[in-house]
Amino acid sequence: MTLSPGELVGLVGPNGSGKTSLMRALAGTIRPTRGRVLLGERPLTQLSRIQVARRIGYLPQNVRASFVLTVEELVAQGRYPHARGLGLLGRGDVEVIRRSMEQTQTLAFARRSIDELSGGERQRAMLASVLAQEAPYLLLDEPTSMLDLQHQVDVFDHIRDLARRGLGVLVITHDLNLAASFCDRLILLFEGRIVAEGAPETVMTAETLERVYRTELIVDRNPVTGSPMVVLMGRRTGDREGN
């Protein structure tokens, strides 16, 4: 698989299909047992951790801070791969921090502490923190889990916007419909392998999805956006066969 600048790619698949492991290997936080990850021309393993962090911003799933930080402090932490010495912030850093908050519309509550924020605001603050790394590629592991509908759409809007600005973004999500309407491409994982890859229309066929998710479903078309849309039929195929 590849990830290019300016595209938003959705990584989907059932629980345990290896989405998070794949993303961790791409981020360099684990070593793949087989295969290798190339960043540009060079294997990831040849780069130092700091070098990787300057090129790849990675937001793991369910990140929680052990201390109560303000949004601004959280975003400032994203400057770590660029900081030197004591790590006191220079003027350039402050500018990047401000811009990251601006792009995610978190500037308005920069001084609030992150545990006072709503789920959506919190995820945007996390996103801003990763953005402050100024990396051209972003890897986001379920940035919309635990969010209600409105905030899911809100976060995806912001992610879409980042891709439009030229970042290459890979995002894991469980919501196929959301992925279909926002992503340029989808990668479907099943039992550790890529079973389908390409435009949402080609990946999201009823046949493929029924096999992978073992659920009876139909794939319709979103009446507004025209992107494919999954409708669940509510009964597992396995149950029916058993009867």
Partner 1 sequence: MPLLTLRRFSLVCGIYLLFALAAMVLSSMIGAEPIHLPRMLAAWWTWRAGPEQTQAPSEVFIFFELRLPRILLAFVTGAALAVVGAVFQALLRNPLATPFTLGTASGGSFGAALGFFLPGYLPAVAFSWGPITHVQCLSLAGSLLAILMIYGLARASGRISTMELLLAGVTLGMIFSSLIMALRYFASPHIVVDMDRWLMGSLNVIGYRDLLSLLPLLVIGLGVLLGLARQLDQLALGEEMALGRGVNVPRLQALAFFFGSMAVGVVVAEAGLIGFVGLIVPHTVRRLSGPDHRLLLPCTLLAGGGFLVLCDTVARSLLSPTVLPVGIVTSILGGPFFIYLLVTRRGSKRVWGGDRLG
The CA distance from 124 to 110, in Å, is 12
Which residue, 69 or 195, has its beta carbon nearer to partner 1?
69
- Of the pair 55, 210, the CB lying nearest partner 1 is at 55
- CA angle 232–237–239, rounded 5-degree value: 115
Least separation in angstroms between residue 85's CB and partner 1 is 9
Q: Decide whether 89 or 206 has the Cβ nearer to partner 1.
A: 89
Sign of torsion, CA 2 6 23 32? positive
User: Which CB atom, from 36 or from 49, has the smaller least distance to partner 1?
Assistant: 49
Hey, which residues between 179 and 208 contact partner 1 (CB under 8 A)? none
Whole-Å CA distances, 11 to 99, 139, 195: 27, 10, 11
Using CB under 8 A as the binding rule, the residues of this chain from 129 to 158 that contact partner 1 are: 129, 133
Name residues contacting partner 1, limited to 59-118 (CB under 8 A). 59-60, 63-70, 72-74, 76-78, 80-81, 83, 86-89, 94, 97, 111, 113-115
In angstroms, what CA-CA distances link 88 with 83, 85, 92, 125, 154?
A: 8, 8, 11, 21, 33
Question: Comparing C-alpha atoms, which of 184, 179, 163, 186 is closest to residue 222?
Answer: 179
Choosing from 38, 42, 46, 50, the residue that interacts with partner 1 (CB under 8 A) is: 50
State the Cα–Cα distance between residues 71 and 84, nearest whole angstrom: 22
Residues lying near partner 1 in the complex (CB under 8 A) are found at 24, 27-29, 48-54, 56-60, 63-70, 72-74, 76-78, 80-81, 83, 86-89, 94, 97, 111, 113-115, 129, 133
